[in-house]
Amino acid sequence: MGTPVRVLLVDDEERFVQNLAKLLRGRGFEVSTACDGAAGVAAVETAGGFDVVLLDVKMPGMDGIEALRRIKDISPDTEVLMLTGHANVDTGIEAMREGALDYLMKPCDIEDLVAKITEAHEIEDIRRRPVLWPRRVVKEVAWPSFIRLGVEDLLEKALGVFLRAPGMSVRDELYVLDAENRFQGVVARRDLLEAAGRHRSGNSIEWEDLVAHPEWLPAEALSGVMRPGHPVATDPEADLAEVARRMLDANVRCMPVVEDGRVAGIVRLTDVLQHLAG
C-alpha cells in the first residue's frame, strides 16, 4: 500500500470502534480513533494529516453533521465518509452539502469499506464535479456504460470488474445478465472470496490476498457462485429523491436502471445525493 493511508474513526460505540480499528489496521491503514464529534474535531485540529475520516452521524453532544462542518473548515482536503445505522435521505443530502464524499450504512462489509476508503484517498474532488444543469430523474445521473457479466463468464472476469480503475466508484455487487441484458443473478466480493477459499482447502482469504493472487480463483463460471434473483432496481424516469429513499431502505449504494425489463445502466447513491444537494 506504500505510505499508509491515515484514517480517523469517530464513533461513540466503543466496541464498534475497537473492532473496526483492528480490522483496518490489519489491512495496512494507520488508524486513530475518537469517541465523539468534539474529540474527532480536536484530533483533526491538533494531529492533522488524516487522509480519510470515518464519521458516525448520530452521536451525543456534537453530532456527525456538525463535526463534518468543523472538520471541513479545518482541513478542506480531508475526505469524510459518513457512517450511520439510521439511514435518512435528508441527513444524507445535508452531509453531501457539507462536503462528505459518501454516506454509508452500518454495518459495512469490511471489504467494501476498505475499497471505499482507498477510493476516497485516490479520487481527487470526486464530489465537486461541476453540475451543468439541475438533475431530477434517474436517467440524468445514470452511468449507461458498464461491463456486462454472463452466467458462463469465469470468476476471474468478475474480479477484474471489481478492480477497475476508480471513476465508476465502488460497486457493492455485480449483475449477471443474459444475452438480452435481463437479470440472472448477482455476485459480491464475498462470493469470490468464498470460492477462492474453497479452492484452497478452506483457507480464509482477504481481498488484498485475492487481488495479489487471482490464480487462487477456480476456473469456474459465475453460475456456480452467483445468487439468483432480481436486485432492487429503478427505472430511468424515477424521481431522484424517491430513489435515494429506496436505496437507503435497501442498504445499497448502487442500483441498476431497468427499462423494458433490460438493464440500461447503473445509478449510484453518491451521485443521487450530490445532485439533490446541488
pLDDT at residue 2 in the model: 57
In our burial notation (b when 16+ CB lie closer than 10 A, e otherwise), range 84-102 reads beebbbebbbbbbbbbbbb
pLDDT at residue 87 in the model: 65
pLDDT at residue 276 in the model: 80
pLDDT at residue 251 in the model: 74
Element housing 195 (H / E): helix 189-199
Residue closest to 159 by CA, chosen among 185, 183, 189:
189
Backbone angles phi, psi at 76, to 5 degrees: -60, -30
For the chain, which domains are there? 6-128 (3.40.50.2300), 138-277 (3.10.580.10)
**pLDDT tens digit at each of 278 positions of the chain:** 457 889 999 999 989 999 999 999 998 999 999 999 999 999 999 887 788 999 999 898 999 999 999 999 998 888 899 888 776 778 888 888 888 888 888 877 787 788 888 878 765 334 344 444 456 889 888 887 677 899 999 999 999 888 874 444 456 688 999 989 999 999 988 999 999 999 988 888 888 889 889 999 999 999 999 998 888 899 999 999 888 888 887 777 788 999 998 998 888 887 888 778 76
In angstroms, the Cα distances linking 45 to 1, 39, 69, 194 are: 26, 10, 13, 42
Confirm if 28 and 1 have CB atoms less than 8 A apart: yes
Give the separation between CA 206 and CA 108, rounded to whole angstroms: 15
pTM over 0.85: no
Strands of the chain (E only): list them: 6-10, 30-34, 52-56, 79-84, 102-105, 173-177, 183-188, 227-228, 254-259, 262-268
